[in-house]
Amino acid sequence: GNSVTQMEGPVTLSEEAFLTINCTYTATGYPSLFWYVQYPGEGLQLLLKATKADDKGSNKGFEATYRKETTSFHLEKGSVQVSDSAVYFCALSEYNQGGKLIFGQGTELSVKP
């Protein structure tokens, strides 16, 4: 079945450091890929998405490229801020499965000043 695997956290970085959170997936078809962010006590917010191979999603300085050959969708940011501290979820959705999201286990990011 479909699945998403993320690197384990927590990830602790200093402000302005480079961020990479790895995400790989297994899917039977051609999924859409998403990164969601969850701040403490809140629901999930869409951060970025990519719907086909080689697409690059980007938002708020974050970006991720849909790599079909490596089945990956790694999240990157060149310079993190304290306000980026949150839990990040990678997810996939397949058209023939009604749009339901399959999530990774989440990666907690803590950015220190």
Partner 1 sequence: NAGVMQNPRHLVRRRGQEARLRCSPMKGHSHVYWYRQLPEEGLKFMVYLQKENIIDESGMPKERFSAEFPKEGPSILRIQQVVRGDSAAYFCASSPQTDSNQPQHFGDGTRLSIL
Distance separating alpha carbons of residues 29 and 48, to the nearest angstrom: 21
Q: Buried b / exposed e across 62-100, counting CB within 10 Å, b at 16+? A: bbbbbbeeebbbbbebeebeeebbbbbbbbbbbeebeee
Least Å distance between CB 42 and partner 1? 5
Among 24, 72, 94, 110, binds partner 1 (CB under 8 A): 94
Q: Does 27 engage in binding with partner 1 (CB under 8 A)?
A: no
Q: Does 113 engage in binding with partner 1 (CB under 8 A)?
A: no
Q: Choose the stretch contacting partner 1; rule: CB under 8 A; options: 11-19, 60-68, 71-79, 99-107.
A: 99-107
Distance separating alpha carbons of residues 112 and 99, to the nearest angstrom: 36
Which residues sit at the interface with partner 1, rule CB under 8 A?
31-32, 34, 36, 41-46, 49, 51, 89, 93-95, 97-106
